[in-house]
């Protein structure tokens, strides 16, 4: 029986497969396109494998960076060693770690609620504090400030230079500024085609622009997510081991720069005499840093008071009338403090 099974069948008895296809038809075109897509997919996989970073080996479920940090190494921190990259594994009790309370508070700019990300963050258990933020879109902690960019917004921000200004403001006030690039789940997870990548800096390359941006701001961190659900996971990891965000402080950050422009006269210059420019600038800078002073009441305070001294002797009722109930009370308490 074995000999008969190994004997080749006659040619007329062998199975034959025929592929019928109309020449120059829609079926022919679709078949050729499917072959082309399959070839491009394999080419991208091969190219991606060449560019993939080397995977670090892990031991006992701890990464190499965590082991270096546990042994006193320098590989477990970022931002100049001021921020921990991961939790220290040097714990007593047989290596058991106490589970810390999950951080959930996030300050969100009110303009971001037009996107889907805030609702997904809320569904994921995060506590959102809507606020009008001058710097950043999402404030995760007192060190993490995130500017969210969709793909189209990213290209537009590079074209008009807005992203550079936003990054400059974030780097000025936060230790770890971040730019979140949020991709469309229905499109390719790539900023540009692999054949457009090269070793030279080009003005029309988005990769070159991101490289130059990170060179100008070494503290900047680039985050990318395929979908808002991935962004939720990233935010939870970033908030780990950091204090909750101070919403009031996040709102005040950057307001003074806005006030500098608002307190200028028409046509961008002061209306005072040139001889008093130095004194006016000093008094204006001091006024901008008083508690309770904001973009809505600073101009009115300058119209009502000739100097900081005249403002300091105002009564509680006068300060409330000039600056508002809450801001007036803050100014009254500040000026009446005895422990200067």
For residues 258 and 134, the answer to whether their CB atoms sit within 8 Å is: yes
Buried b (16+ CB within 10 A) or exposed e, 12-42: eeeeeeeeeeeeeeeeeeeeeeeeeeeeeee
Specify the pLDDT at position 197: 66
pLDDT tens digits, 145-182? 999 998 888 888 888 888 888 898 899 889 999 999 98
User: What are the tens digits of pLDDT across the range 44-99?
Assistant: 888 877 777 665 554 444 444 444 444 444 444 555 555 555 445 554 544 444 44
Tokens linked to 107:
């300050």
Ordered strands of the 105-109 beta sheet: 127-131, 105-109, 138-139, 144-150, 176-182, 221-225
Mean pLDDT calculated for residue range 24-48: 84
**Which one is predicted more confidently, 64 or 9?**
9
3-state helix, strand, coil in the chain (%, to 5): 50, 10, 40
Residues β-bridged to residue 148: 180
* Residue 4 scores a pLDDT above 80: no
Rounded to 5°, angle at Cα 221 from 220 and 225: 145
Q: What is the mean pLDDT of residues 259-272?
A: 48
Q: What is the pLDDT of residue 83?
A: 55
More confident call, 297 vs 130? 130
pTM for this entry: 0.51
Query: Which pLDDT score is estimated for 178?
Result: 93
pLDDT > 90 fraction of the chain, expressed in percent and rounded? 11
Q: Which residue has the tokens 């002073």?
A: 293
pLDDT of residue 152: 86
What's the residue count for the chain?
A: 340
pLDDT in tens, 211-256: 889 899 999 999 988 888 899 999 998 888 888 888 888 888 876 5
Digit-coded pLDDT (tens) for 122-145: 988 899 999 888 888 999 988 999
Q: What angle do CA 330, 253, 288 make, to 5 degrees?
A: 50
- Report the C-alpha dihedral over residues 183, 188, 191, 196, rounded to 10 degrees: 180
Q: What is the pLDDT of residues 173-205, one digit of tens each?
A: 899 999 999 888 777 777 766 666 666 777 777
d(CA 5, CA 182) in angstroms, rounded, equals: 60
Confidence label for 304 from pLDDT (cuts 50, 70 and 90): confident
pLDDT at 73: 42
- The predicted structure's pLDDT at residue 259: 52
Higher per-residue pLDDT: 116 or 277 = 116
Q: Which residues contact 173 (CB under 8 A, 6 or more apart)?
A: 135, 145, 253, 254
CA distances from 251 to 131, 229, 241, 256, 314 (A): 7, 26, 23, 11, 27
Residue 57 is predicted with a pLDDT of 52
Looking only at the bridges linking them, the beta strands covering 138-139 and 127-131 are unpaired
C-beta of residue 287 within 8 angstroms of C-beta of residue 334: no
Distance, CA of 238 to CA of 242 (rounded, Å):
8
pLDDT computed for residue 61 by the predictor: 47
Question: 201 Cβ partners below 8 Å, 6+ apart?
Answer: 208, 211, 212
Q: Is 90 helix (H, G, I), strand (E, B) or coil?
A: coil
């Amino acid at each position: 029986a074995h000999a008969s099974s190994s004997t080749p069948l006659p040619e007329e008895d062998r199975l034959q497969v025929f592929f019928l296809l109309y020449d120059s038809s829609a079926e022919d075109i679709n078949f050729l396109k499917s072959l082309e897509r399959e070839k491009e997919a394999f080419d991208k996989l091969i190219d991606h494998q060449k560019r993939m970073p080397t995977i670090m080996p892990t031991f006992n479920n701890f990464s190499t960076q965590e082991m270096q940090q546990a042994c006193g190494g320098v590989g477990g921190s970022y931002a100049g060693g001021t921020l921990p990259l991961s939790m220290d594994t040097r714990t007593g009790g047989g290596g058991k770690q106490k589970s810390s309370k999950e951080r959930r508070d996030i300050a969100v700019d009110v303009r971001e609620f037009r996107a889907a990300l805030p609702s997904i963050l809320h569904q994921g258990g995060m506590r959102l504090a809507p606020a009008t933020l001058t710097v950043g879109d999402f404030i995760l902690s007192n060190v993490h400030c995130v500017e969210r960019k969709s793909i189209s917004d990213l290209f537009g921000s590079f074209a008009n230079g807005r992203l550079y200004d936003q990054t400059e403001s974030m780097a000025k006030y936060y230790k770890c500024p971040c730019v979140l690039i949020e991709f469309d789940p229905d499109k390719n997870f790539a900023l540009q085609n692999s054949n457009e990548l090269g070793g030279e800096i080009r003005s029309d390359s988005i990769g070159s622009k991101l490289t130059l941006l990170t060179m100008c701001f070494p503290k900047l961190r680039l985050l990318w997510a395929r979908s808002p659900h991935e962004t939720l996971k990233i935010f939870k990891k970033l908030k780990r081991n950091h204090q909750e965000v101070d919403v009031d402080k996040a709102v005040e950050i950057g307001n003074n720069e806005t006030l500098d422009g608002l307190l200028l006269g028409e046509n961008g210059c002061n209306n005072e005499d040139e001889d008093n420019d130095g004194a006016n600038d000093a008094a204006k800078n001091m006024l901008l840093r008083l508690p309770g002073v904001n973009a809505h009441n600073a101009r009115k305070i300058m119209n009502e008071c000739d100097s900081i001294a005249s403002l300091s002797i105002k009564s509680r009722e006068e300060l409330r009338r000039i600056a508002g109930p809450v801001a007036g009370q803050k100014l009254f308490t500040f000026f009446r403090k005895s422990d200067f």
